[in-house]
Amino acid sequence: MTKKLMCTQRLYSKLIISFIVCIIASCSNKGKDYKDIFGQKYIEAERYINSNKWIQDSLARYEIDPSLGISIVFPELIRYSAIKDKIETRSLEVLYTQYGTKYADFSIGKFQMKPSFAYQLEKDWDSFYERDPIKCQIKPFNLNDNPETRRDRIIRLKDEKWQIRYLVMFLKVVEKKYKVNHCDPEMEISFIASAYNSGYSNDSIIIVKMEKQDFFHTGILKPKKCYNYPEISVYYYKKKCRK
Amino acid sequence: MKKIFNITLAIIILGVLNAHSQVPQKENLYTLQSGESMVYGENCFNFSDNGKEIFIVIHGNDGYYTINNGVKKGPFKEMNESLLKPCKQNNNNCSVFEPNGNTEFSYDEYVKTNDDGTFSINFKGKDYGTFTALQAFELSSDKNSFVASAVAPDMSKELILSNGKTIKVDGLVSKIYFSPNGSMFIAKVGFDYTAQNIDPTKINMEQISSYTLLTSDGVKIGPFNGEKVTESDIWFTQTTGNHWFIRNGDDLLLDGKPFMKMPENANRCDLWFSSDCKRYAVTSYDKVKFSDNTVVPYPIITTLFYKEGKAYLRLITLENDKEINVYTKAL
């Protein structure tokens, strides 16, 4: 009897230890300090946002919560800070203008948007927003695929004001396309950040699945250790809200 | 006799035309084979041209290849950092002269704060000053000369030159631009809000943001509206020596005088001038257009290089989806 009791106690203590280990593991995973991990690159990204108040004003003018909008692209700002000295996109811009995405589809600007992403957004914007009042602020696009329209797209993508407009269009299109949970801002940001990072044209099941994957890094080539893009967005949002 | 005259005339005309409209020299660097493509990363293109050698990375059916001045090596199974390295060298797409060195670092290195709160400069073993305040300190790219903007003990403002000269200025100097060889400079002289005799109630924003430019020859140009003509609208280029440019809206000024209209959609980096500024080329995403109307389509790499003291543009293109060509033309 005593032996049986001891055995049960041992089993319970094993379970409790396992449970505690699980909690610690889960907490340490959730509670990554990204400011500490990315250091100077994080600070530079934060500095850019703080010294460009017009970004928040612009988002608010388009009826977008600035904290939400900035959180979605914040990991890209960290990446941009890390690789900005290695960026040389002129050749790719010419190749895209000349031949289109079959030759070059690459990330441009602080929010690291690709021409294919911009083109998809322009298409969706033109079709989704026929009666939206915001529509009059961002006029329909010429969707013909030729060197002239591609050149204009590159010029837009390199313009910071247009980068914000593309972000606005993305948020509006995602809101229209998916039933985003507005009750929990962190869940909302996590889902939208995953859509931004993995491709918003994907099915919502895939976007949710990608939410858990660690693809984010700040190098030119993919390293062994990657981070979770939506988690960084949520981290920035939570830090911003606490202030 | 008439026939000989006509032939001579034709030769002269052709010669004149050729002198003004040199067709770019074209050479095929490589023709992509079936299944081959040029390699680029997320943010850069693995294609470098430093004026001496051209390096390309391509991807074929069995891996990666490098082509260095026409010599093909490979296949390499994986893309690694050493293959990506040339990306950093492709920084020759801009015609603007960017000075070497860091202004803050130069200030810390040469400017000394004295115990009584005054400032002095020690440059190449020679002392300058003392000054009540030092607002700007700019070193030439060859580090052989400097220009500093100082407030003298009698509160007058002056430029201090490394050759020992001083130039009186009637405002605050916010920026100094050195020409590439350091033999000339331009100072941006703005509103002096530290002056004793100003009445704050009578100052408007336009006055505060307006400025004049003062050249090392003592020529004063302006005023300019600082809201419209910003610091980046004033520049020296890599190819025009002491000639300098100002963009004032759609107008381009050369050495402070009206010169030409800014080409449509062009920014300052896209304008390449000959040393006498008589000929030029404008680069854009879809072409390089020279002032003699010669056009090279879709230049993916633009490189400036010098041969026998003359500046040339080298333009690399991808034509018909497969021919990697290089065009060379003197500015």
- Which residue among B42, B93, B300 places its CB closest to the CB of A95? B300
| pLDDT attached to residue B178 | 93
Is B286–A88 a contact, with Cβ atoms under 8 angstroms apart?
A: no
Q: Which among A83, A87, A90, A151 is the top mutation candidate for probing chain B, defined by the most B β-carbons within 10 Å of its own β-carbon?
A: A90
Q: Which residues numbered 82-121 in A keep a CB inside 8 Å of some CB on B? A: 83, 85-95, 97-99, 103-104, 106-107
Report yes or no: B84 and B46 within 8 Å, Cβ to Cβ.
yes
- Which residue among B37, B88, B300 places its CB closest to the CB of A94? B300
| pLDDT attached to residue A150 | 95
Q: How many CB atoms lie within 10 A of CB B79?
A: 16
Q: If you average pLDDT over every residue of chain A, what do you get?
A: 83
Distance from the A94 Cα atom to the nearest Cα atom in chain B, whole angstroms: 5
Answer yes or no: pTM beyond 0.90.
no
B249-287 burial, b for 16+ CB within 10 Å, e for fewer? Answer: eeebbebbeebeebbeeeebebbbbbeebebbbbbbbbb
| pLDDT attached to residue A26 | 38
Instruction: Give the residue-averaged pLDDT of A117-132.
Output: 84
Separation of alpha carbons A91 and B262, rounded Å: 23
- Which residue among A90, A104, A147 places its CB closest to the CB of B286? A147
Q: Which among A80, A81, A94, A103 is the top mutation candidate for probing chain B, defined by the most B β-carbons within 10 Å of its own β-carbon?
A: A94
Is A91–B300 a contact, with Cβ atoms under 8 angstroms apart?
A: yes
Is A220–B44 a contact, with Cβ atoms under 8 angstroms apart?
A: yes
Distance from the B42 Cα atom to the nearest Cα atom in chain A, whole angstroms: 5
Question: pLDDT tens for residues B77-117?
Answer: 876 666 655 555 545 678 999 887 666 667 778 888 888 88
Separation of alpha carbons B176 and A154, rounded Å: 33
| pLDDT attached to residue B90 | 47
**3-state secondary structure at position B273:** strand
Using alpha carbons, select from A177, A178, A201, A32 the residue that is nearest to residue A114.
A201
Confidence of residue A19 (pLDDT cuts 50, 70, 90): very low
**Dihedrals phi, psi of A154, to nearest 5 degrees:** -65, -45
Question: pLDDT tens for residues A51-99?
Answer: 899 999 999 999 899 999 999 999 999 998 887 766 678 888 888 999 9
Contacts of A218 in chain B (CB under 8 A): none
Q: Which residues numbered 131-150 in A keep a CB inside 8 Å of some CB on B? A: 147
| Helices A185-198, A160-177: crossing angle, 10 deg rounding | 110
Is A83–B43 a contact, with Cβ atoms under 8 angstroms apart?
A: yes
| pLDDT attached to residue A92 | 85
User: Residue with structure tokens 């056009």?
Assistant: B295
Distance from the A194 Cα atom to the nearest Cα atom in chain B, whole angstroms: 19
Give the neighbor-by-neighbor strand order of the sheet with B220-225: B172-178, B185-190, B210-215, B220-225
Domains in chain A: ranges and CATH: 34-241 (1.10.530)
What chain B residue is nearest to A84 in terms of C-alpha separation? B43
Question: pLDDT tens for residues A204-240?
Answer: 899 999 999 998 988 777 788 899 999 999 999 998 8
Distance from the B60 Cα atom to the nearest Cα atom in chain A, whole angstroms: 15
Report yes or no: B203 and B61 within 8 Å, Cβ to Cβ.
no
Beta strands per DSSP E along B171-286: 172-178, 185-190, 210-215, 220-225, 234-236, 244-248, 251-254, 257-261, 271-273, 280-283
pLDDT tens for chain B, residues 1 to 331: 566 656 655 555 544 444 445 788 898 888 988 888 887 665 555 565 556 667 788 888 888 888 877 788 889 887 666 665 555 554 567 899 988 766 666 777 888 888 888 999 999 889 997 899 888 888 898 888 999 999 888 888 999 999 989 999 988 898 899 999 999 999 999 887 776 677 777 777 777 789 999 999 889 998 999 888 988 899 999 999 999 999 999 999 999 999 999 998 888 999 999 999 999 999 998 899 999 999 999 998 888 888 888 888 988 898 998 898 989 999 9
Distance from the B161 Cα atom to the nearest Cα atom in chain A, whole angstroms: 34
Report yes or no: B281 and B300 within 8 Å, Cβ to Cβ.
no
Is A95–B286 a contact, with Cβ atoms under 8 angstroms apart?
A: no
Separation of alpha carbons B139 and B143, rounded Å: 6
Report yes or no: B245 and B235 within 8 Å, Cβ to Cβ.
yes
